[in-house]
Amino acid sequence: MSTKDNRIFNPNGGRYPFRATDEYFDNLTARIMEQIPEDTPEEEVSEKNTKLIDIHRNRRRNLWISTISVAASLILIATFALKFTPKPNTSPEQAEDMKAEYTTENYNEDLMQYAMVDNMDVYYYLSTSSMSE
Partner 1 sequence: MAKIDEQDILKRIQEPRTRRQAFEQIVNVYSRQLYWQIHYLVQNHEDTDDVLQNTFIKAWKGIENFKGDSALFTWLYRIAYNESLTFLKQRRQMASIDDEDFTEQMAPNFVADEYFDGDETQELLMQAVSTLPPKQRRVFCMKYFEDKKYEEISDIVGTSVGALKASYHIAVEKITNFFKSKE
7 counts as binding partner 1 under rule CB under 8 A: yes
Q: How far is CA 123 from the centre of its chain?
A: 42
- Calpha distance 94→20 (Å, rounded): 101
Question: Which range of residues in 21-29, 72-80, 106-114, 120-128 is near partner 1 by CB under 8 A?
Answer: 21-29
Site size toward partner 1 (CB under 8 A) is: 31
Identify which range of 34-42, 59-67, 77-85, 118-126 contacts partner 1 by CB under 8 A: 34-42
Q: Which of residues 29, 89, 104, 119 is near partner 1 by CB under 8 A?
A: 29
Q: Does 20 bind partner 1 (CB under 8 A)?
A: yes
SS3 of residue 92 by DSSP? helix
Region 35-74 residues binding partner 1, contact defined as CB under 8 A:
35-38, 40-45
Structural contact between residues 133 and 126, judged by C-beta atoms closer than 8 angstroms: no
What does the alpha-carbon distance between residue 131 and residue 133 come to, in Å, rounded to a whole number?
A: 5
Torsion over CA: 54, 59, 60, 64 (sign): positive
Interface residues toward partner 1, by CB under 8 A: 2, 4-5, 7-9, 12-20, 25, 28-29, 31-33, 35-38, 40-45
